Chain A
C-alpha cells in the first residue's frame, strides 16, 4: 500500500536533492573555488545551520523567532572564549600588566580571569557548552513564553527584545566580553593554527559533515510523528492540545532544537572567521536569518540551506560590484520573494520541477527512440 512508503526517511526527490547538494559542497565547490572563496562559502554555510533550525521552529511549528542571533552568538562566543584563552597564554601576552588573561580584560583593568571564563579553558567543556548554554537559554525563554501561551507576533517581538538586551549587555560589559569589538584575534585550537589555508580546508569539510548530519537529524525530526504534530499545532493549536498533547512542550522542543543548531553554526562561524562579535547577537542578523529561510523556503530543509547560500552569495557579489547600491537589490529580493514566492525557492522548485522533469524525460525518450536517424538528419542538415 502506498502509505507504507511514508515511513522512509527521505522521499526519492529529497534524496536526490540531498545527494546533489552533498556533491556540490563536498566536490564541486572545493574544486572550483580558491581557498578564500571556499572559506566564504564556509561562512555562508554557518547560517545554514540557523535556517535549518528555523525550518523546524518556524516552517513546521509556526513559531517565528526573531532572536536566532542570540543562539548563534552564544554558541560562537562559547567557542571564541576557548580560543581566546588559548591565544592569551602568558607568553603571548607578556606586554600586558596582567599576562595570561585576554587583552581586552587587561585594558579594562581586570587582573584575574572572571569565574565564568574558567570552564572554557577545557576543550571538552567548551564543546559541551557550545550546544548546552544556548539550548538551556532557549529552554528558559521557551518555557517562560510557551507555558504562558505567548505566541505569534508577541513572541517574535519578545525574542527581539531579548536579542537587544543581550547585545547591550555584551557591548556594555566590555571587560568581560570584549565589548563591541567582540573577541578577536583567535589563532589556534589545541596548538593547531586555524588561520592557515590547510586548516580552513579541514574546517570546511568538518562543517560540511556537520551540516549534512544536521540535515539528516532534522529530517528525522520532521519525518517523525513529532514533525507532523508540529504542523498540526501550527494549524490548529487547540485541537492538538485537546488531543492530549502538551503543546508547550512541543514548542519548547522546536525552539530548543533550532537554538542548538544555531549555536552549532555560531561555533563553526567562530572557527572559520576567527572572531565573534556582538553584531551577530542583535536584531538585524536575526531578521536576516529569517529572511534567508523565507527565500529558500520555510518548510524545506534543503531549500532553506540554499536560501542561506544564495542570499549571502548575492550579498557578496552585489556589494563587490555595486558597493553603493547593493541594498536596493537585496531589499527588492526580499520583497519579491515574499510577494511572489511565499514558499520560497523550494516552492518554485516543487511546482516546476515535475514539469521540467517530465519534459526532460520525454525528450530523452524521443531521443532514445530514433537516436541514429535524428543525429544523422541533424548532421545532414548542417
Chain B
C-alpha cells in the first residue's frame, strides 16, 4: 500500500450524528489519485451523508477529511470547491430558469467573487470552452434552450457538464444513472467513462452492472459503518456483504 501522502483524499474516523442518531459512524476511506471508487450500500447506509460531509454540506461531529494537504472539515463549501472537489447531486440540480449555456457558464471557474462576477466578460475562451463541454455532454444543439425544458437524462448530463467545466481533481457523483432510460444510461456510462480520465471519482450507485463496469475499488457501507472494501470481486464474495446486501 502507498504511504499516507499519496492519497488524494483521506477520510479518517469520520462520524456525524443527528439528534443522537449516528448516520455516519467512524468511517475511514482512502482514495488514490485517478482512482474510481464506488460506494454501495442499502438505503439509509449513510452514503449520501458521506458525500455531504466531504463537500461541506454537512458538518462532521468528529473525525477528519484531508484532501491533499487541506483539512476539509474546517473549510467553507466554496473553499472546498476551489480546492478541487466537485459534487453532483442525486436529483439533477440545475438552474431551470437559465439556458444551458448560462448553466455551464456559471460553473466556469472564473469570476467567482462578487466583483469578479460583476466584471466577468463572456469572451472567446469562455465561449469555446462551453461549446466544447456542450459537445461532450450531447447538448451542443440545446445551448440556447432553457434548462427547464430538457429531459431528465439531459438534465443529468448538464449537471455532469457543469462539474466537468470546473475540472475538479475529485469528482463525486450521487447516483448518476438513476431514473434513466436504457439508451440514456448507455450514453451516460459512455460519458462517465470519458470524463473520469485523469481524476479521482467517488460514485454512489445502485446499478451493479454499472458499478462493475467502472469501479476500481468498492466500499460497502451499512448502518453508517464500512462493512467491506476492495475490488468488486472481493466485495461480492465477502460473506458479510452477501448477507446484508447482495443476498437479498
Contact = CB atoms under 8 A, between A and B. Distances in A.
A148 B113 CA distance: 19
A226 B162 contact: no
Pick from A7, A234, A243, A245 the residue with the most CB of B within 10 Å: A243
Interface residues of A, number: 28
B85 to A, nearest CB: 9
Contact of B98 (A221, A228, A238, A242): A228
B80 to A, nearest CB: 8
Contacts of B143: 3
B112 interface: yes
B105 A243 contact: no
Pick from A231, A242, A249 the residue with the most CB of B within 10 Å: A242
Given A231-B95, A235-B96, A245-B78, A240 B106 contact: yes
B96 A244 contact: no
B95 to A, nearest CB: 4
Contacts of A2: 144
Interface stretch (B60-68, B115-123, B189-197): B115-123
Contacts of B77: 241-242
Interface string B93-105: 1111110011101
Contacts of B102: 228
B144 A3 contact: yes
Nearest to A234: B97
B93 A245 contact: no
A246 B116 CA distance: 12
A186 B41 CA distance: 73
Contacts of A240: 106
B98 to A, nearest CB: 6
Contacts of B94: 236, 239
Contacts of B111: 225
B105 A242 contact: no
A232 interface: yes
Contacts of B57: 238, 242
Interface string A292-324: 000000000000000000000000000000000
B118 A239 contact: no
Given A235-B96, A240-B106, A3 B101 contact: yes
B81 A244 contact: yes
Given A224-B120, A239-B94, A229 B106 contact: yes
B15 interface: no
A226 B118 contact: yes
A253 interface: yes
A261 to B, nearest CB: 16
Nearest to A250: B114
Contacts of B109: 244
Contacts of B162: 239, 243
Pick from B82, B98, B118, B162 the residue with the most CB of A within 10 Å: B118
A28 B94 CA distance: 45
B186 interface: no
A121 to B, nearest CB: 34
Nearest to A221: B118
A228 B98 CA distance: 8
Interface string B109-153: 101111001111110000100000000000000011000000000
A379 interface: no
A6 interface: yes
A249 B95 contact: no
A7 B123 CA distance: 10
Nearest to A252: B114
Contacts of B219: none
B112 A232 contact: no
Contacts of A226: 114, 117-118, 120
A232 B89 contact: no
Contact of A232 (B98, B101, B159): B98
B87 interface: yes
Interface string A237-271: 01111111111011001000000000000000000
A58 to B, nearest CB: 15
B127 A242 contact: no
B97 A231 contact: yes
B95 A235 contact: yes
A246 B78 CA distance: 6
Contacts of A7: 121-122
A378 B207 CA distance: 75
Contacts of A225: 105-106, 111, 117-118, 120, 122
Q: Which 6 pairs between the two chains have the least Cβ-Cβ distance?
A: A244-B81, A226-B117, A225-B120, A232-B95, A239-B93, A241-B77
6 contacts: A225-B117, A226-B117, A228-B105, A229-B106, A242-B87, A244-B112
Interface of A: 2-3, 6-7, 221, 224-226, 228-229, 231-232, 234-236, 238-247, 249-250, 253
